[in-house]
Chains A and B, each alone.
Chain A
Amino acid sequence: MSTPVTTSARGPVRGPAGSAEGSPAGTPVGTLTSYRAAWTNRGRGPWRPPYVLAAITVIYLLWSLLPVLIAVLFSFNSGRSRSVWQGFSMRWYTGDPNLSVLHDAGLRTALGHTLLLGVLTTLVAVPLGVAFALGLDRWHGRLPTTANVAVVLSFVIPEIVLAAGLLFMITQLQVPFQLGTTAQVVGLVTFQISYPVVIVRARLLTIGKHYEEAARDLGASPLQALRRVLLPMLKPAVFASAVLVFADVIDNFVLVRYLSASSQTETTSMKIYNTARAAPTPALNALASLMLLASLAAVLIGWLAYRRFTRGEKETTGIADFAQL
Chain B
Amino acid sequence: MKKWLRSRFRSGRSDLFGVLLSLPAIVWLAIFFVVPGYVLLAIAFGTVDPIFRAPLPAWSPLDWTFGSFSFVFTHLWGGTDAFFGPAVLRTVGFVAAAMVLCLLIAFPVAYFVARHAGRWRGLVLALLVAPFWISYMMRMLAWVNLLQTDGLANRALSLGGLLPVQVDWLAGRSSTVILGLVYGYVPYMVLPLYAALDRISPSMIEAARDLGAGRTEVFRRVILPMSLPGVAAGLILVTLPMTGDYFTNDLLSGSPRTSMVGNLINEAISTPGQAGQAGALVSLLILGLLVPMLLYVRSTLRGQDVRS
Contact = CB atoms under 8 A, between A and B. Distances in A.
Contact of A160 (B121, B145, B282): B282
Interface stretch (B69-77, B81-89, B112-120, B157-165): B112-120
Chain A interface bracket (under 10, 10 to 19, 20 to 34, 35 or more):
35 or more
Nearest to B201: A19
A134 B266 contact: no
Contacts of A74: 145
B148 A83 contact: yes
Contacts of A57: 108-109, 112-113, 124
A123 interface: no
A116 interface: no
Contact of A17 (B35, B116, B125, B134): B116
Given A136-B22, A169-B35, A186-B32, A156 B138 contact: no
Contact of B17 (A19, A222, A258): A222
A164 B122 contact: no
Contact of A16 (B22, B113, B116): B116
A80 to B, nearest CB: 13
B141 A161 contact: no
B135 A292 contact: yes
Given A168-B36, A251-B136, A292-B134, A193 B29 contact: yes
B77 to A, nearest CB: 22
Nearest to B114: A18
Contacts of A151: 25, 29
A309 interface: no
Nearest to B237: A156
B244 A159 contact: yes
Contacts of B117: 18
Contacts of B293: 153, 156-157
A315 B143 CA distance: 40
A27 interface: no
B246 A160 contact: yes
A214 interface: no
A262 interface: no
Interface string B129-153: 1111111111111111110101110
A284 interface: yes
Nearest to A162: B36
Interface in A151-202: 151-154, 156-162, 164-169, 172-173, 186-187, 189-190, 193, 197-198, 201-202
A218 interface: no
B1 interface: no
A149 B108 contact: no
A161 B135 contact: no
B21 interface: yes
A67 interface: yes
Contacts, number: 313
Contact of B26 (A143, A222, A251, A288): A143
B142 A152 contact: no
B55 A53 contact: no
A320 B132 contact: no
B269 interface: yes
B121 A61 contact: no
Contacts of B210: 12
B25 A193 contact: yes
A295 to B, nearest CB: 4
B64 interface: no
Given A137-B18, A158-B244, A250 B36 contact: no
A82 interface: yes
Given A2-B119, A165-B36, A166-B32, A61 B124 contact: yes
Nearest to B216: A46
B198 to A, nearest CB: 8
Given A138-B21, A223-B17, A65 B39 contact: no
Interface in B180-223: 183, 186-187, 191, 194-195, 198, 202, 206, 209-210, 214-215, 218
Given A68-B142, A131-B22, A277-B250, A138 B17 contact: yes
A304 interface: no
A315 B240 CA distance: 34
Nearest to A222: B17
B18 A138 contact: yes
Nearest to A56: B108
A154 B224 CA distance: 29
A18 B24 contact: no
B55 A168 contact: yes
**Residue with the greatest number of chain A CB neighbours at <10 A, chosen from B114, B210, B282:** B282
A318 B122 CA distance: 7
29 contacts: A17-B115, A17-B116, A18-B117, A57-B124, A61-B127, A64-B186, A64-B187, A65-B130, A83-B145, A131-B25, A132-B21, A134-B22, A135-B21, A135-B22, A140-B13, A144-B26, A150-B33, A152-B300, A158-B240, A158-B285, A159-B244, A168-B57, A193-B28, A251-B134, A253-B137, A277-B250, A288-B138, A295-B133, A299-B133
Given A288-B141, A324-B198, 18 more contacts: A46-B218, A50-B112, A56-B108, A67-B142, A70-B142, A138-B18, A139-B14, A139-B18, A139-B21, A152-B296, A152-B300, A156-B237, A168-B40, A250-B135, A254-B244, A272-B138, A273-B137, A319-B123
Nearest 5 CB-CB pairings of A with B: A158-B244, A165-B36, A138-B18, A135-B22, A135-B21
